[in-house]
Amino acid sequence: MKYCSHCAGELVYEIPAGDNRHRFVCPSCNSIFYQNPRIVAGTLALWQNQVLLCRRAIEPRRGYWTLPGGFMENGESTEQAALRETREEALAEVTLRSLLSMITVPHIDQVHIFFVADLEQPEFGAGEESLEVALFAEADIPWDELAFPTVSQTLKRWFARPDSSQPAHVFDITMPLDKTGV
């Protein structure tokens, strides 16, 4: 950020009075610009013990497999975001069961939330952000072609105890694995 969206004044990066973190501050109109983590919401959608995965048609990690999910929009609940993203990426209708994982990824300022969900019908397809969509049994999951650590960790934790009554997995992924943060 370089200029204030309120008065067009040039911003400074400082710790505002009464705060404990650096923020972009406008010395002209005293506006403070808070930058907070973005929430990614998605589903681990199931059909007869198989998991629905999408091959990404967009960067980052184009061509790699992921659970259907994406950034939450203003005015949505996390559940609504997960349902919308599943509909957009996999053209699938699901029924949410429960929260499966909440993963904080501080080095990219994100929180990833995945819900266990049931496909209402084995009907799905590739949305605009997917190259293809498919159901996978655990043994057939392309583990080396998964897009993000949050996806692989969510899948591993699900298959270790595939029961939607288990408590949600809450953990952090604190270090980037390579220069892309993946």
CATH architecture of 1-35: Single Sheet (2.20)
Q: Please tell me the distance from the alpha carbon of residue 97 to that of residue 41, in angstroms, as a whole number.
A: 14
Beta strand 23-25 with 12-14 is antiparallel
| Per-position pLDDT tens, the chain of length 182 | 999 999 999 999 999 999 999 999 999 999 999 999 999 999 999 999 999 999 999 999 999 999 999 999 999 999 999 999 999 999 999 999 999 999 999 999 999 999 999 999 999 999 999 999 999 999 999 999 999 999 999 999 999 987 766 778 888 988 755 544 44
3-state secondary structure of 149: helix
Place of tokens 């949505």: 76
- What ranges do the domains of the chain cover? 1-35, 38-172
Q: Are the C-beta atoms of residues 53 and 134 closer than 8 Å to each other? A: yes
Assess whether the previous peptide bond of 122 is cis (omega < 30° from 0).
no
CATH superfamily of 38-172: Nucleoside Triphosphate Pyrophosphohydrolase (3.90.79.10)
Show the CA angle centred on residue 117, arms to residues 170 and 158, nearest 5°. Answer: 45
Q: Long-range contacts: 85-89, Cβ < 8 Å, 24+?
A: 85/41, 85/42, 85/43, 86/42, 86/43, 86/45, 86/52, 86/117, 87/127, 88/127, 88/128, 88/129, 89/54, 89/127, 89/129, 89/130, 89/133
pTM: 0.86
Listed in sequence order, the residues at least 6 apart from 59 whose beta carbon sits closer than 8 Å to its beta carbon are none
